[in-house]
Amino acid sequence: MNVGVIGCNGFVGKHLCLTMSKNKSINLKLFGKSDFNLTKLNLPYIKIDVSNKEETIKEIKDLDLIYYLASASIPVTSWENPKIEIEQNLLPFLNFLECVSLSNIKKVVFISSAGTVYGSSNEKLNEKTNKLPFSPYGINKLTMEYYLNYYQKKNNLNYDIFRVSNIYGENQDTSKGLGIINTFLENIIHKKNINIFGNGETIRNYIYIKDVISFLLTSLETELQQSNIYNLSSNDNLSINELLNIIDSIVKEEYKVQYMEQRNSDNPFISLDNSKIKSMFPSIQFTSIFGGIKSCYDFLKKEV
């Protein structure tokens, strides 16, 4: 199978490419915005500009399936300036889909956001639950999902949409404000305060990067002529205070916690139903939250 990854230099992209590179039946092609291939893999790498339609089609035309992992924002960054989502995420994505629809690609695999597309709700959220995103980030992710459906109807371009919860794990770059678990661990190791927005009772779902990759790889095994949407979330719906208790049982360092004013961009409660993806792929088991955090902590300690 000929497979492409747009966004190969990101956190998920690097892990995904590394795993797929070990499969000799996959011809892998990497795409990114950087001048350099940051995956450190000896594989074909193309600096891509999806606004260049002719060049993009030339580079992707022989692929069977392509992962779209690129994102230029996080929920906080577009809260005050929603145009960021349109200009830096939606328009490039539409250019990409137009190019894909003119190539031989059979399926697009897209990472959406489980924490933002549903909005705020006290209910258990499955894939068919009504969606009322309140942040520009979530509104745009859902819009991108709808455009995938449009191209499926218009051009028979199939898709797998994975609505992923809060990912953590080795080699996550926290400098842009993503990754609460990694941020907490890094601050503890470097003797910095733990900053919590609100009272710490915000409920979120956390999933380990290696579990995310295991589920993303299922798109290579399932029918390319079918489209699917999944909540890619673990069984761990925890408050930030509960999460901190788990971290406290693992780390050896002392640290201070500082509670700060709640951010309007944060979803106060999320409870995700992952029964669909578990029933579809019962052989994939989730890493325990304790085990995942312990592995991440041990990795970060070695990096100091």
State yes or no: pLDDT of 135 exceeds 80. Answer: yes
State yes or no: pLDDT of 267 exceeds 90. Answer: no
Boundaries of CATH 3.40.50.720 in the chain? Answer: 2-167+207-232
What's the pLDDT tens digit per position in 15-73? 999 999 999 999 999 999 999 999 999 999 999 999 999 999 999 999 999 999 999 98
Compute the average pLDDT of residues 160-189.
95
- Our measurement of the distance from residue 131's CA atom to the centroid of its chain's CA atoms, rounded to an integer in Å, reads 18
Q: What is the dihedral of CA 77, 194, 251, 164, to 10 degrees?
A: -20
Tokens of 223: 């029918």
> Residues near 182 by Cβ (< 8 Å), separated by ≥ 6?
168, 169, 172, 174, 296, 300
Angle between helices 136-155 and 91-101 (to 10 degrees): 20
The CATH number assigned to the domain with range 168-205+236-303 reads: 3.90.25.10
State yes or no: pLDDT of 120 exceeds 90. Answer: no
pLDDT at 106: 96
**The CATH fold of domain 2-167+207-232:** Rossmann fold (3.40.50)
pLDDT at 195: 93
DSSP 8-state assignment for residue 178 = -
Tokens of 166: 């809060």
Residue 278 has φ and ψ, to the nearest 5°, of -70, -40
Percent of the chain with pLDDT over 70: 100
CB atoms within 10 A of CB 207: 26
Residue 260 near residue 197, CB atoms below 8 Å? yes
Boundaries of CATH 3.90.25.10 in the chain? Answer: 168-205+236-303
State yes or no: pLDDT of 176 exceeds 90. Answer: no
State yes or no: pLDDT of 304 exceeds 90. Answer: no
Confidence of residue 92 (pLDDT cuts 50, 70, 90): very high
State yes or no: pLDDT of 74 exceeds 90. Answer: no
27 by DSSP, 3-state: which? Answer: strand
What's the pLDDT tens digit per position in 200-259? 999 999 999 999 999 999 999 999 999 999 999 999 999 999 999 999 999 999 999 999
Confidence of residue 149 (pLDDT cuts 50, 70, 90): very high
Q: What is the mean pLDDT of the chain?
A: 95
Residue 7 near residue 29, CB atoms below 8 Å? no
Whole-structure pTM value: 0.95
